Chains A and B, each alone.
Chain A
Amino acid sequence: MLRVEQLTISAGGRTLCRDLDLAVAPGELWAVLGCNGSGKSTLLHTLAGLAPAATGRITLAGKPLADYSRRELGRTLGILLQGEPREFWGTLRDYVMLGRYPHAHLSFGWSAPDEEAAARALAAFDLEPLAARPCGTLSGGEFQRARLAQLSAQNPRLLLLDEPLQHLDLRHQLQALEWVRAAVRRGERAAVLVLHDLTFAGRCDRVLMLHGDGRFAAGTAAALLEAGRLENLYGCRVRAFGSGPDAHFVPVI
């Protein structure tokens, strides 16, 4: 699905990640962990073709990222940005419809399949009652769900999600995670999530840890999620409760 070779990314004169090799297979769910400013978002932007890579090669579905047209890339890959301006001219439904942009024949308005995809996306995030509300009047969590619904309507094969759970209440955090897992399980899809929540990271298949100084570690969640590595990554004391997929990690206060 996604193959990254010898990728080096830097920002603000610092090398955040050096010679990264990564292979994201269809059906895989990845969690990206690291401190603030360690390059998680920059990595996602680079993978989405929104930021240039210093060196290295990125191949998406067998084709170099640079060879994609912007629209074609929009059908193959979708990114949830960490933040975006809240002011929008239309309703929540208008906003979610824009996810269909790369699929639509733009001169003639939205087609019936576009409308259906947006309706399904609204339903998947409990947004139908809010569909006619102007976007500016939504709460932070409601708007976050609208952003996820827009991505769901876009229906790309590779999902890149930058802190998808921010602002969400517990039930909607679960709902968002279940949506990603279901999308990935349907096959031919994969997802990369930037997370700060270690419980949810434990439910991913694989983990990428970025130390922000060029070092990184990639592997299965079972192998990488242990107290010692996490203390090293975050620079604070961490205690583990339980083991295996049910392990919980709590900072020592």
Chain B
Amino acid sequence: MLAVIAAASLFTAVLFGTLSLSVVQVFDGLFFPVPGIVQDVVWKLRLPRAMAAFACGGLLAASGVLLQVLLRNPLADPYILGISGGAALGALGALLLGAGVAFTNLAALTGALGAIAIVFALSFRAGDWNLHRLLLTGVVLSAGFSALISLTLVLAPQAQLKGMLFWLMGDLSHAGASGVAWVLLALVVLIFTAFSGSLNALTLGALKARALGVAVGALQAALYFGAALATVAAVMLGGSIGFVGLMVPHALRLSGVNDHRRLLPASVLGGGSFVALADTFARTVWAPQQLPVGVFTALLGVPVLLFLLSRKP
């Protein structure tokens, strides 16, 4: 059912926009393209954007699932380890210097990888993971980054401020080709679904999982780097889109999907559809003005999650 929702959300994302198209036009444009404005809008503008949005949401949701298993903490989300903070600091620094899109992306990537390396180096000592230290290091590092980001925002000239705010709130209008992100998304889903039995066992705690025969150290390292890379790829596409990585897995759990064999693929489809739809809202509601998609992920997601939480089990 989620696969149908996912396809429908992509179709919806292609359907709506400044240039109004009918369902038939979009269908023809997608499957029987003839050169012209419809084909250009569908294939060059809306589909790439929708695909980027979907990949971004899928990666964030997958990263959330992996980190919630790794840290055994329901509050874990893709940004808890300081990755988005590092990326944002890099991007904002580049924007402050007046850099173009390519250099901004490079700076964001450098910042994100730097944050991953720092957190890993500080929390992994002599072959032993200390998950409390991992969590606290990530949180402390995030706090440091957010202070530096505030400083950058205060010092930034008025002209660059809006671009910076969009970056921070999550924005897909500058998302480029999402091929790499899709490859990474497919790898993450395939690998960790294949190891879903190990993820299920790890939810019992590291000691118990080892007693059952799980190679816990290797699994934790794989979870950390899998989640980190997924987050980096998502942040490179859409900036810091909040709420998806934390809430999509929880919404599915509250709906009764708990086994990681189903939870991980379902989260990816759910997260992808969610961001694709939110992005469609973001670029159509106030058209031609585009709004940051991060605002809509929260505005759409909060009521849904509050409803699920208030339901009787």
Residues of A within 8 A of B (CB): 48-50, 69-75, 78-79, 81, 84-85, 88-90, 94, 98-99, 101-102, 104, 106-107, 109, 154
Contact = CB atoms under 8 A, between A and B. Distances in A.
Contacts of B253: 89
A109 B261 contact: yes
A104 B197 contact: yes
Contact of B197 (A50, A90, A101): A101
B203 A88 contact: yes
Contacts of A154: 212
Contact of A78 (B210, B211, B258): B211
A186 B143 CA distance: 59
Interface string B183-196: 00000000000111
B201 A98 contact: yes
Nearest to A51: B207
Contacts of A101: 197-198, 201, 212-214
A160 B230 CA distance: 40
A98 B204 contact: yes
Given A74-B212, A101-B212, 10 more contacts: A50-B211, A70-B215, A71-B214, A71-B215, A73-B213, A81-B208, A81-B211, A89-B200, A101-B198, A109-B261
Contacts of A89: 200, 203, 253, 258-259
Interface of B: 194-198, 200-201, 203-205, 207-208, 210-216, 253, 258-259, 261
Closest 10 CB pairs of A and B: A74-B213, A102-B213, A106-B197, A89-B258, A71-B213, A107-B194, A70-B215, A101-B212, A79-B211, A84-B208
A184 to B, nearest CB: 20
Main secondary structure of the interface of B (DSSP, over half): helix
Contacts of B201: 98, 101
A96 B200 CA distance: 12
25 contacts: A48-B211, A50-B211, A70-B210, A70-B215, A71-B213, A71-B214, A73-B213, A74-B214, A75-B213, A79-B211, A81-B207, A81-B208, A84-B204, A89-B200, A89-B259, A90-B200, A94-B258, A98-B200, A98-B204, A99-B212, A101-B212, A102-B212, A102-B213, A106-B197, A154-B212
Contacts of B207: 50, 81, 84
B199 to A, nearest CB: 10
A113 to B, nearest CB: 15
Contact of A70 (B200, B214, B258): B214
B72 to A, nearest CB: 8
A74 B215 contact: no
A76 B200 CA distance: 21
A221 to B, nearest CB: 27
Nearest to A91: B258
Contacts of A81: 207-208, 211
A242 B19 CA distance: 95
Nearest to B212: A101
Contacts of B197: 101, 104, 106
A138 B210 CA distance: 24
A126 to B, nearest CB: 23
Nearest to A154: B212
Nearest to A45: B207
A104 B201 CA distance: 12
Nearest to B260: A89
Interface centre among A75, A90, A99, A107 (most CB of B within 10 A): A107
A84 B201 CA distance: 13
